[in-house]
Chains A and B, each alone.
Chain A
Amino acid sequence: MISAQNPPASPDTGAERMPPGAVGASVPQLDGDEKLTGQAQFIADLYRPGMLHGAILQSPHAHARIRGYNLRAALALPGVRGIVTGDDLDARHRMGAFIKDEPALAKGKVRYSGEIVAAVAADSESIARQAARLIEVDYDVLPAALDPAKALEPGAPLVHDDAASYVSVFDSGTQGNVCSRTSLVEGDAASAWAQCDVIVQDTYQTQAQAHLSIEPCGALAEIDASGRVTLWSANQSVFRVQANVCESLGLSMTRLRCLTPRIGAGFGNKMEAHVQPAVVLLALKTRKPVKLILSREEDFETVRARHPVTIRMKTGARRDGTLVARETELLLDGGAYGDDSPGVLGYALLMNCGPYNIPHVSAHGRVAYTHKMRFGAFRGFGVPQVTFASEQQIDAIARQLDIDPMAMRRLNIKRDGDRWFGGQGIFSNGLADCLDVVERESGWKAARAARLQPAGDPAPEFRRGMGLAVSAHISGLLATGAIVRMLEDGTVLLSTGAVDIGQGSNTALTQICAQALQVPVDRVAIASPDTDGSPYNWGTTASRITYMTGRSVVAAAAEVEKQLRKHAGAMLECAEDDLELRAGGNIGIKGVPGGGVSFAQISGYAHWAAGGPIIGSNSWVFDQKTVDPKRAVALGLPFGKIGIFSFSAQVIEVEVDTLTGKVRVPRAWTACDIGRAINPTLAIGQVEGALVQGMGFALTEEMVWDGARLANPSLMDYKIPTFAEMPDEQHTFLVESDEPTGPFGAKSVGEIGINTVAAAIGNGIVDAIGTRLHKLPFTSERVLAAMMPQEQA
């Protein structure tokens, strides 16, 4: 097990043989120097000769028909070079990750306040913005559906005139204002309630959370002489950018090359399109490079955010704490366009039980279209919301039965041989160890005993409590590839198409490649994602890069090793079976120390004598079926194959200021089973960052609508945790259960750390003040209101 307090500097087993910086070593991020000296080039830092600057015009209305545009005044402004609107689009061209419902920019209609209605390219950003303000749009304002439940009532204003006619990649059941509907059922929950000695049933409400990457969204498009477009953008997938731009503009994919600068984080915000289609349109219109960077306010209002979810949940257990049945109904506010919503719904349902054996589960949900900004991928992808409900219900049952919440988890968690809800196999499971670690490190037993025998001041001004929550998260889905090339001098070039958004995938994948070929990390270079040169990679999302692309890298490296051996056999005139790969880039004869041939020699041989350049490649799609039809019934599940579960357990100590209701987090302990830590410092960094982002979700962050308009689209009004709010002590532990299918045993770590935070804090608040809150965030106002009835008593 690895703890943050003393991460290992070098890998454990076989350490003597391994070159430094390979798997298990906390290699500092490879792009560290440029980031630390301020030389890293993010999208806003890029310049192209003759570049114009872009600005958007946003819709002031939540729902309106566009009758026409008057661009005269805007075009007349000196320095304006081009303007694009929906009139530049073909209505047939639409994009969408699951449902093709979204145009490049508003066409015919605006569907949310803030939607991009036009874009201007000009000699400077201030001229472009000024020109945008001069564009007149003739709107026919229509009634808007702003509340998801009301949007699903008969007679509600339709967000899409004929949603059922849209192309969908799965059986989404899209119609009216139902964007998608999904259900997943195992056993017979309806009749299982009779077996339950205790049942809890509640409705929970989670809020819209803004990603707040410190870097706002932006893009830069350039046309070459043949009319081919090169596009840089803040993105989490050059391939999703390519698909979205080409689908929404009706371009053949050969006409668009997508590249990536350094990315200032994403958390899901940059996974699907933002301004890229509009910027490409501007470049096509003006025939000049165009760069457009959103302001912070525009980023808040235009792009995407975490789904607000209404969760109706019912859980039943036997007197001894064994879970029997679960019923979950989700209503997601999807906003105006589908985006990743169907995926979030499906995944939330798949994960709704948490990592427990519950024999009877009935999980259903819908995504409603509303006239608000689209809601989409955000770290956790529905699991923080559903875990907020589930882990509080488990806790509530434990309290009702007077069982230690720790013991209740242990009684019910998935163990070896158990399958996930739906039927997928679990091949590595360190959850029990995770529970042990956080129980021990947090002093859980002693704290619980102290609370059961209260002593001292019965009404302290600041009350502390501890809350526990557990979770899981997948590691694999969709497609990826890897190409490993040996350069003439025996060094290695790795190309994967995986975008490093700051989490360190470039470094981790380089370590994996280096370890696979047993060379030092500095002999491997990783190429920047480029749709022209990189193998397809669905994207940096869903915590999938280490597992999916890592596996591809291992396989591609194995191909390279095969070719190296073949050539070495010829060069050394011996059978390939007598050869061994040696640390440092060498192939030698087993039992014969020294001698052998170096990678440089072999590569030279291959390039100039026989065989050709050494290239290893791999391409695969995640292949584990999620649902076993003999076990579970799925309707409208948007994915057939996702899986490989990481696990986590978290104890959070909260302190409630009983005078004001303010909640702070003095200490937190988190243990994650991530299979194997390719780079412990980077892995721990993910868990630590996720905790604080989760604290924002739990305590202070809430996007608030004032009618149709977002009321707080600025950092003055939307508050994320600062240094002052971080826990005084944050203890992170990595459990390594060694996933047999994972690259060197690794699973995912990017998202799991955020899933448990709101629930653990909620459980901690109950421990501190005896009251449970069902609505996020736990602002001091809401906590004070929850305490008032007690105070008056």
Chain B
Amino acid sequence: MSLSKHALTLSVNGSPTEVRAGLHDTLLTVLRDQLQCTAAKRGCNQGVCGACTILVDDRPARACLSLAVNSEGADIRTLEGLNDQPDMRLLQQAFAKAGAFQCGFCTPGMLVSAQALLRGKPAPDAQDVRKALSGNLCRCTGYTRIVSAVLDAAAMIRKEPVAP
């Protein structure tokens, strides 16, 4: 198996970024090890836990299941690049108030998924939230507070204009 690496240009959080990747390197590895974008976490490397969830072309995707070499041309956004967006900030505030995180390891992936849900469906109900987030596992909270935080954030966001 060849471990040789090649230069790639990836669009990460709006910036064209030079990285080196081998055929089998995932976006998760490249983001974390080369770009110090460590918000996306490695919880299983099988796409099940959701801790590596990022946005690719505006849709939530698993960084651990995305090959870096297959991601040239895609618009890649991690939590680091979403932190200053007004709807993300309201989500984070709602999470803080509700106690919707404990250890915080699943939280970046959870926030990325939640933001995407609210952008597609600004007025979800609890079932919508549960279905949209069912691919993000949390072992600490028991989920209840996350659902109420997302619903609260949705209400706050609807009251305020959101930058596209």
Interchain residue pairs with CB less than 8 A apart (19): A32-B96, A33-B96, A35-B101, A36-B111, A38-B40, A38-B78, A42-B41, A44-B32, A214-B137, A265-B103, A265-B139, A296-B43, A681-B99, A715-B137, A720-B139, A722-B134, A723-B130, A723-B134, A723-B147
Q: Which residues of the other chain, A, contact B43 by a CB distance below 8 angstroms?
A: 214-216, 296
Main secondary structure on chain A at its contact with chain B? loop
Stretch from B44-52, B55-63, B65-73 forming part of the interface with A: B44-52
Question: With A214-B105, A265-B103 as given contacts, are A126 and B133 in contact (CB-CB < 8 Å)?
Answer: no
- A513: CB under 8 A from chain B? no
Which single member of A37, A126, A267, A720 contacts B79 (CB below 8 Å)? A37
- A443: CB under 8 A from chain B? no
Q: Are B141 and A685 in contact (CB under 8 A)?
A: yes
Q: Are A262 and B83 in contact (CB under 8 A)?
A: no
Q: Are B104 and A688 in contact (CB under 8 A)?
A: no
Chain B min CB distance to A667 (Å):
12
Q: Are B144 and A688 in contact (CB under 8 A)?
A: yes
Q: Are A723 and B83 in contact (CB under 8 A)?
A: no
- A41: CB under 8 A from chain B? yes
Chain B min CB distance to A419 (Å):
33
Q: How many residues of A contact B (CB 8 A)?
A: 59
Q: Which residues of the other chain, A, contact B39 by a CB distance below 8 angstroms?
A: 37-39
Chain B min CB distance to A744 (Å):
20
Question: With A38-B83, A215-B41, A296-B43 as given contacts, are A715 and B49 in contact (CB-CB < 8 Å)?
Answer: yes
Which single member of B3, B101, B111, B143 contacts A723 (CB below 8 Å)? B143
Stretch from A575-583, A621-629, A690-698 forming part of the interface with B: A690-698
A251-308, CB < 8 A from B: 262-265, 267, 293, 295-296
Which single member of B80, B92, B133, B143 contacts A36 (CB below 8 Å)? B92
Measured CA separation A44–B48 after assembly (Å): 19
Measured CA separation A692–B107 after assembly (Å): 17
Measured CA separation A730–B45 after assembly (Å): 31
Measured CA separation A214–B49 after assembly (Å): 7
Q: Are B105 and A723 in contact (CB under 8 A)?
A: no
Q: Are A690 and B105 in contact (CB under 8 A)?
A: no
- Interface size band for B: 35 or more
Q: Considering the complex, give the chain A residue whose CB is closest to the CB of B48.
A: A715
Number of A-B pairs, beta carbon distance below 8 Å: 164
Measured CA separation A36–B96 after assembly (Å): 8
A482-509, CB < 8 A from B: 501-504
- A351: CB under 8 A from chain B? no
Measured CA separation A657–B131 after assembly (Å): 21
Q: Are A42 and B105 in contact (CB under 8 A)?
A: yes
Q: Considering the complex, give the chain B residue whose CB is closest to the CB of A34.
A: B104
Q: Which residues of the other chain, A, contact B137 by a CB distance below 8 angstroms?
A: 214, 715, 720, 722
Q: Which residues of the other chain, B, contact A504 by a CB distance below 8 angstroms?
A: 102
Q: Which residues of the other chain, B, contact A723 by a CB distance below 8 angstroms?
A: 129-131, 133-134, 136, 143, 146-147
Q: Are B108 and A502 in contact (CB under 8 A)?
A: no
Question: With A37-B79, A215-B43, A716-B48 as given contacts, are A31 and B139 in contact (CB-CB < 8 Å)?
Answer: no
Q: Which residues of the other chain, B, contact A295 by a CB distance below 8 angstroms?
A: 45
Q: Are B44 and A296 in contact (CB under 8 A)?
A: yes
Q: Are A37 and B83 in contact (CB under 8 A)?
A: yes
Q: Which 3 A-B pairs have the closest CB atoms?
A: A38-B39, A502-B103, A35-B104
Q: Considering the complex, give the chain A residue whose CB is closest to the CB of B130.
A: A723
- A175: CB under 8 A from chain B? no
Measured CA separation A720–B48 after assembly (Å): 11
Chain B min CB distance to A37 (Å):
5
Q: Which residues of the other chain, B, contact A692 by a CB distance below 8 angstroms?
A: 142-143
